[in-house]
Amino acid sequence: MKLPVLALCLFATAAAAPLAAAQTPMDPLDARDARRIDKMEQVVRELRAIVFQGRDIGKPVVVQPAETDYQLQEVTRRLADLEQSMTRMTGDLESANRQAELAKRDAEQLRAENKSLADRLASLESRALAETVAPPDGLAGGPSSGLPAGDLFTQSRQALASGDYAAAENGFREYVDAHGETSKAPEARYWLGKALSARGAHADAAGSYIAAIRGWPSTSWAPDAVVELSRSLIALKKPADACQTLAELAKRYPKASTTVQTRAAQARSQAKCAA
């Protein structure tokens, strides 16, 4: 009876041996080898397909890497190109934003400077007119000559050219009193300022020049009137106001004649204007 029991034990041991072997985990190296074999089989299948395709169409066939690896490489390359493009675009956008911000600041500064210049010129005009003994629109002159406007203007110009400043002053005062609203009146005030400057009446002359160039007219005599105004202000010991006036000359009349620009440079030097 003992022999069958021993046989049964040996049989159970033999049956359990394959089961234990089946439950033993696979070596990692064996797993990698299995993957390599799978990949090689895939390559072989692709090569067979390529060979059969070449045989069927009778044309050369370009052999490429395994499809999955090739696609991954292509996607990686495209992503790198895209990242470079986005980096460049981001840099260009930041540069454009900086330039736009700088342009905005420059425009705001220019508007502020223009307003400041306008305010200073208005203040200068107000002070000069306030100090004028005889305002241009109410100039006190001698008795009326009764001459027509054109003749009165011509005679006054002739008196000024001949050096008869008193007669020129009276004539232009009369013209302004009688014809102060005509288109010729600003020029009459300019010539009146010339006569007053020649006689040393610098405050009255400054008022006449300011009235003449009010509105910055585009006339041949206007740039010279601005220079004469600055000279009157220098004579009145107001160099800062003279420098502001000369700065407006360069801005309002950039194409003034060489003679006017030379006299303006002399006035800037005399007033010690900043460069």
Per-residue confidence (pLDDT) for residue 246, from 0 to 100: 94
Kindly report the length of the chain. Answer: 275
Q: Which residue has the higher pLDDT, 223 or 54?
A: 223
Sign of the alpha-carbon dihedral angle for 197, 172, 143, 203: negative
Q: Residues 173-177: what's their mean pLDDT?
A: 94
The answer to whether 176 and 149 have CB atoms below 8 angstroms apart is no
Structural domain boundaries of the chain? 136-271
Amino acid identity of residue 194, one-letter, is K
- Tens digits of residue pLDDT in 59-105: 665 555 555 666 677 778 888 888 888 888 888 888 888 888 888 88
User: What distance in Å separates the CA atoms of residue 41 and residue 14, rounded to the nearest whole number?
Assistant: 36
DSSP-derived letter for residue 138 is G
Q: Which residue has the higher pLDDT, 81 or 14?
A: 81
Per-residue confidence (pLDDT) for residue 114, from 0 to 100: 59
- Tens digits of residue pLDDT in 231-275: 999 999 999 999 999 999 989 999 999 999 999 999 999 999 987
List C-alpha distances in Å: 164 to 1, 199, 228, 266: 167, 10, 19, 27
Structure tokens belonging to residue 101: 């911000």
Taking the CA atoms of residue 129, residue 130, residue 134 and residue 137 in that order, the dihedral angle to the nearest 10 degrees is 50
Q: Which residue has the higher pLDDT, 90 or 229?
A: 229
**Statement: residue 212 has pLDDT above 90:** yes
136-271 CATH choice from 1.25.40.10, 3.40.50.300, 3.40.1190.20, 1.10.3980.10: 1.25.40.10
User: What distance in Å separates the CA atoms of residue 70 and residue 72, rounded to the nearest whole number?
Assistant: 5
DSSP-derived letter for residue 215 is T
Mean pLDDT lowest among 74-83, 183-192, 200-209: 74-83
What does pLDDT average to over the chain? Answer: 78
**Statement: residue 19 has pLDDT above 50:** no
Pick from 211, 201, 225: nearest CA to 129: 211
Per-residue confidence (pLDDT) for residue 185, from 0 to 100: 94
